[in-house]
Amino acid sequence: MLLQKETLINKVSIKAYSPGTIKLNIGVFDQAVLLVNGEKIDFEGADRFDQLSMKSLQKYLQNKPEILIIGSGEEHKILPPQITIKINQLGIAVESMASRQACHTYQVLSHDKRAVSALIFP
């Protein structure tokens, strides 16, 4: 088996997820984590996944990522269709999934140098 040293592509990377916390290479967080262009941005839009609205997301979509991944917490929850439609109309693909899977998906896509943003709720 060939092993390769992991090289840091982004300034901030996800190291681990456990229910209630998200561990980044810059610290451990117990509130929603927003990653944009490889950096952690303070997210003030909602405290929980079920509080999300297009209004709470609007200003964080200005950089037009190719993909927005939303981690819904410990369990998979579906993003309301009206939010999905509006984000898609901006030319952004959006996927919601359980936060553990969202962390993994973000790391894979960012490692592939895709224009991906992630909003992950613990």
pLDDT score, position 7: 54
| Number of helices (H), then strands (E), in the chain | 3, 8
Q: Are 64 and 90 in contact (CB under 8 A)?
A: yes
Angle at 70 between CA 20 and CA 101, to 5 degrees: 65
Give the chain's mean pLDDT.
Answer: 92
Say if residues 35 and 41 touch (Cβ distance below 8 Å).
Answer: yes
Q: Which two tokens stand for residue 104?
A: 């993994």
Mean pLDDT calculated for residue range 109-116: 91
Percent of residues, the chain, with pLDDT higher than 70: 92
The domain defined by 31-120 folds into Hypothetical Protein Mth938; Chain: A, (3.40.1230)
**pLDDT for position 1:** 63
What is the pLDDT averaged over residues 36-55?
A: 93
pTM of the model: 0.89
Q: In sequence order, which residues have a C-beta less than 8 Å from that of residue 26 and are 6 or more positions away?
A: 12, 40
Amino acid 2: pLDDT:
60
Residue of 40 and 1 predicted with greater confidence: 40
Using DSSP, state whether 57 is helix, strand or coil. helix
